[in-house]
Amino acid sequence: GNSVTQMEGPVTLSEEAFLTINCTYTATGYPSLFWYVQYPGEGLQLLLKATKADDKGSNKGFEATYRKETTSFHLEKGSVQVSDSAVYFCALIGRSSGSARQLTFGSGTQLTVLP
């Protein structure tokens, strides 16, 4: 079956530090890959996505590149802000029938950015 493995948290950084949150996946075929962000007490917001190998998703200074050879989709940001403090989820939707509709999530990584 499909699975997503995320870097264990929590992660605490100072403002303007560089951020990397690792994400690797297992899936048959070529899944679509997503990063969602969840602020306290809220739902999940789509941060970025990539649908095929070597695609780079980007939004609000965050980037992630779909690496088929390493089955990875690591999230990066060059300079984090206090407002980036949230839980980040890596997720995939598979291509095989039956899995092509449900998101499979990683366990989430709590990020805290200190001023």
Partner 1 sequence: NAGVMQNPRHLVRRRGQEARLRCSPMKGHSHVYWYRQLPEEGLKFMVYLQKENIIDESGMPKERFSAEFPKEGPSILRIQQVVRGDSAAYFCASSLRGDQETQYFGPGTRLLVL
For residues 45 and 83, which CB has a smaller minimum distance to partner 1 in the complex?
A: 45
CB 36 within 8 A of CB 44: yes
Single-letter amino acid code for the residue at 63? E
12 is a contact residue toward partner 1 (CB under 8 A): no
In terms of Cα–Cα distance, which of 104, 85, 82, 83 is closest to 31? 104
DSSP-based three-state secondary structure for 84:
helix
Considering only 25, 32, 64, 66, the residue that binds partner 1 (CB under 8 A) is 32
35 is a contact residue toward partner 1 (CB under 8 A): no
11 is a contact residue toward partner 1 (CB under 8 A): no
109 is a contact residue toward partner 1 (CB under 8 A): no
**How large is the greatest C-alpha to C-alpha distance in the chain, in angstroms?**
46
State the residues that interact with partner 1 by CB under 8 A. Answer: 31-32, 34, 36, 42-46, 49, 51, 89, 93, 95, 98, 100-108
